[in-house]
Structure 1
Amino acid sequence: MNSAPQASYSWQARSRSRSRRWVLWTLLVALLVALLSTLVWLAGRYEVSQVQSRLEQDAAQMATDIRAALTRNVQSFQALQVNSPSPEVWRLLAADLLRENREMMRLESRDQALDLVAFAETPYRTSVFERLGRGATRSDVRFACTAAQRFSGPAYSTSYFLPQADGLGLEVLDMCLPVLVSGQLAGYLVATYSLPGILSELVGRRVARGQGLAFTEADGTRLAMYGNPTRGSRAYIAQQLLDLPGNTLVLRLESQRSTQALFPNLLTALVTAMSMALVAVLALLGRDMRRRLKVEHDLADALAFRKAMEDSLVTGMRARDLQGRVTYVNPAFCQMVGMEAGELLNNGVPPPYWPPERVEEYGQRQASRLALGATLPREGFESVFMRRDGSRFPVLIIEAPLINAVGKQTGWMSAILDVSEQRRIEELSRASQDRLQATARLATVGEMASLLSHELNQPLAAISSYATGSLNLLQSAAADVRQPSSNEDLQLAMRRIAEQAERAGKVIKSVHDFVRRREQVREPIEPRMLLDAVMPLVSLQARKLAVRVLIEVDPGCGPVLCDRTMVEQVLLNLARNGMQAMQALDKNRRADKVLTLRVRPAASNAWSRWVEFAVIDHGEGISEKLAQQLFTPFFTTKAEGMGLGLSLCRTVIEQHGGFLGFEAVSPQGTIFTFTLPEATSPGKPPELAVQAAPAS
């Protein structure tokens, strides 16, 4: 029977409790809002007081600066009257002073009766008294000078307005300074100041953007102004009295400010932000947890991607610390040296992939490279590593500093390439090139076959003739033993036979030596010997083509270090090309068909000396279009040429470290030059040799 009233009472109690909680929360929120509003209002008032205080300090400092500047000007006026200068000299000195002080409009020298003796006006504008004349302001001058005589010092008149010819006006005031000579009044110096000029020249640089500076009278009438304060909802004004002898001006500094920000200073913003942060911290924490999980997932994906990328590389990667210990290797490097990563990491020096016979050499080179630090040039160098089975293989190492996240070097990262296959291919290419050179030599000899038959016919015919004569002499001697000269003739004939047979043998031997393949061995050879070796073959074609060959060898040239057979082939190819280039000359110019083989020292330095070989012809020359493809393999202008001669010549010379080039000869012809190193060159300096040597 009482259940209904009890339920009603319980519901009312819960309702009252809920109402009290809402009232408490409402009061708490209202209190917090009131507290924050009060804090913001107090901070704003404090900021206003700070701005007003700074503005008043600036105004006081500007007034002080104006007084100090006017005092310095008085000292300059006093210096102007030293030694009582003549009016002409005084005008010159006054003009200089006016150029230095733009706030002055006019300087006057007056006698004791205030009559004008001399004057000078500012060069920066027309005379301010042009419209009214100076006489209209004589009372102001007399007032200022009377006050100056009473003060025994400078005195200032009240400011007055001068209308100008351009329709505007200018507020000015006069300063009068008594001039004393031996303690007696000798006259007055009157200076006319522009009030806007005083503001702009003496304190204008201190006026910030959004501020305005003005001279006003005591009642607030504005006399002059500099600057233009921006419009805003609040104006800050600071006034300072500028006390001058005989006159007092009010210096007014104005600053306009827009509507005050919601958080005028750091303290208010910090308190408000902390209050708001309490509400948002849980939401931020939840979002941070979600982001952290996402970052961890992305990091795991990045690590998996990096691992897959490292496993797919064929380039070995190796990291070392600053002490040279290996701290990281990728699978490609482990496969390269045939070892596990655990066998390579954190081992001391020497690592297990260094060949034992090079441990000392590699250790010294590693120390020198590590000592260079980040200045080590990032250039690849070659070295030799050892596999687990003891086999050696060449590698190319490219090394760079390993920099951590804070920009500090922690070691070195190396990219290592196994160049064994590359070296094998280079060896095959070198062998193919040797075979190609032999083929070119055979082709050259094939072209000379007709020349050889003609050249060998002469000594063989001479041998046959001398042999027939010898037989006749023998028969004559047998028939008539009384001929005493038959033995001498027979001996002469036999000598001729031997000479001609030797001549034919030399021709055959020179061709045989040129054609046969030999190992490439570089040896010191005199330049003259190289020329003499190819001269029999050059002479064959020279006689056929009616070309005269000249040889010029500088005696100062030392022996060159080269592969004799390869360089002889270069000389022969260039000589044959030069003789063929002169076949287009007409019969009247046969005297110009001269081929010159010249040898002389080339440009050298302290570390290497070079010898220059030159083949000079007087043919048609090489056109600009032809010069672009001259050294291209299989490019030729001959009907039956292979296009390999000049390409092989350049390759041979570059393998010797030299250079093959050409240029035109005046008035007609071409000169091909190439250089070879002298066998007595001192070589590279020790420090360069160390840098060029491979490291481990």
Structure 2
Amino acid sequence: MVLAREPLKPSPSRLQRLFGRWWRQQSPARQDRFATIGPLVSVLMFLAAITAAFWYLRSEEIDRATDALRRDTEVAQQQIRLHLIENQEQLVRIARELVTKDIDTAEFLSQAGAFQRERPEVRHFTWVNAQRKVRASQAVLSFHPEEGSGAAMADPSLPAEGRRNEAEYAFIAARDTRQPVYSRPFTDASGLWVFQVQIPLIDRSNFVGTLIVEYSVEALVRFFVPTEVTRRHLVSVLGPDSRVLVSTVSSMPGQPATAPSLQYDLPLAPMSNGLTLRGQGYRTSIGLIGNTLFWMVVALSVLTVWMLLGTWRHMRRRAQIQNALVQETNFRRAMENSMLTGMRAMDKDGRVTYVNPAFCAMTGFAEADLIGRYPPFPYWPPDRIEENTRLLQQELQGRSPVGGIEVKVMRKDGSLFDARMYVSPLIDPKGQQTGWMTSITNITEAKRIRDQLSASHERFTTVLEGLDAAVSVLSVQHSELLFANRSYRLWFGADARGHAILANSSNGAPYLPEPDEEVDGLSGLPTQPLTETGAQPREVFVESLQMWFDVRARYLQWTDGRLAQMLIATDITARRRVEEQAQQQAEKAQVTSRLITMGEMASSVAHELNQPLAAINNYCNGMVSRVRAGSIGTDDLIAVLQKTGRQAERAGQIIHRIRSFVKRSEPQRQPAHARDIVEDAVELAGIELRRRKVNIHTYVAQRLPMLNVDPILIEQVLLNLLKNAAEAIDTAKMPNSRRHIELRVVPRHTPEEGGVIEFSVTDMGPGMKEEVLARLYEAFFSTKAEGMGIGLSLCRSIVESHRGRIRAQNIYNGGSVTGCRFAFTLPVDLSQRAEAHPVPDTVPDVAAASNPNASAS
């Protein structure tokens, strides 16, 4: 028979043997503790794993729903935003045509009707003049135009002076900012929530009214929120007070609406008028609170943990007393060892009974070298034994000063350091004094810093007193003069009035608090941002001294913590006088240059004026002949008179531009568009270009930032560069293929200049020699036989006075010169808003328009 063999038992692994050996080495109490903690940790880990799994699955589903809601809300916002931007561009074009009188009231109403038919969200389309009078209006319910010239009725959709409504606020904002303005939402006469966009009408820098377009908030949501978005989520529009104005879902009457569990808000750009687009959704997952399986697992885990904790608490009580005693001992020992102040205890006879580790580290002596010692102690310097003995007797008698005593202490290596010693009686638990406790602190570094600060303060005061500039420090809260150097006292005396004058206050008087003022109004002022702000230089004229000062001010925190203002005023009277004389000479040179330019263009101007005058003569002679013959009707007569008027207006515009260009005036920097400057310069230069049969092509980039310049001076620079380019081409007898000039205006950004706008004039002439380029901007240097040599030098001065740069370079094709390029830059702030109204990429080609055979390069 076959005997069944017993299965072999697997041999224990090395890890199991090590664990068994470690377990047998533990005490029974520790084994019991580990046996109790092990199941408790396992149950807690199981509960944590179950909770984490439920929470992870629920969070994943919530994240997916939140991402879908965010995407749908952003899609709806982009649809509405793009549509509003497109409408604004169309409205700016209509406003520009109204200002330039390219359309009359009838054409405006026609365009308004077409605009509303294509845009169902538009409820009103109104033209209002600067006095808030309605010139023309178009309503959405009926496309019959409504014209009016009298006072507007009490309509919340129309601005009215003195009335507090959103239309009036938007009208004032559009008038002040000269930019399209979106109003805050309001209810119109029909009770619907609407908002307006008001486009200002600017005629030659004069505000002449606004173009008001009223949008229905409900129509915007209904027509421009995609259907697939509204099927998935609830989309609503909230007002500035977070009240729901319009929603894609309406609740049933009498039933409370279920609050959505997810929502995502976005501003209804580009309006920035308080409207918020909110997308809302609902979670479909069951939370941890409503999950039955989760609570069953939690209940079983809590029951197991409770049983294990009961066992563990019983075992822990046995070791509490022993642990408390160990902790108290260790705490006291750690506190003594971690102190940085040296502690020394003595009995009433002066014998050292205790020193802490900090005292030993401070003196370098070991504890055995100090315990039980009587005076003199080993850390007393040999030359101060008598003094230290006297101080010890004073200490044992209880007459040590409360503020401590400054003494010299010697280390074991013989070096000395300064220390401050404080003495207090040592009281035992029964209330009896058994000795004295002394604490010693090393003050060597603090004393050295104090001495350095005193010397530094003396040097600082000496330097400030020797300055030729006035330096003063004024307390902001109390208007108290905290410091003034010799120059300040010499010019303004010893009071704070001079500081107030230099700080450019309204009446030169310092701020004085009211007698009954009990609360510091500047106590909550954030001093850190003020003190971190750099000095802003200003030039101030002091009438009483007849002197100019360069003033630099900054805020600082005074030695006592108060907020103070420091001013440094340098006398710049001599420099200002020199600058004023140079400015006067530059202004005379600018006017002289413009007169010379007009003198050179005199024949071209006469030829340009001859064309409209000859046309007027021909029209008048023709009308006289036909009137005498009785062969002209009223309509033909009106048409001829209109043509005659246009020719006269053309001649008048030519004369007006020439007068504006050559008229002497003070340089005035003002906000200006680069496109307007280019148009005026090209129109003036077109006379000379047509005479020399030179074509010009201009390109101006869209949405350029606003420039802060003197338009006449920049126009003078452009005209000079264009005239020089035309003269170079005509003098060199260039063929028709190379009789071209290109004027480009584009934005640039360089590390040296930052954000700038670059004006460049490129011709296809013979170019210039390198030695000419090197001396191009020298005064009275000219390559022309009859030139005065002040044109380009003056151009450079004008550009550099606007903090710009000008440069010239030849254009090469291989080794041959194919033209020359002049370019200058003007700095701008790129953070400004771009031009609100879109415009074409090019300015009309003046020279090519008057020459049928010309073509743009």
Q: Please indicate, yes or no, whether the TM-score normalized by the shorter chain is above 0.5.
A: no
Shorter-chain TM-score bucket reads 0.3 to 0.5
- Greater share of helix residues, 1 or 2? 1
Whose radius of gyration is greater, 1 or 2? 1
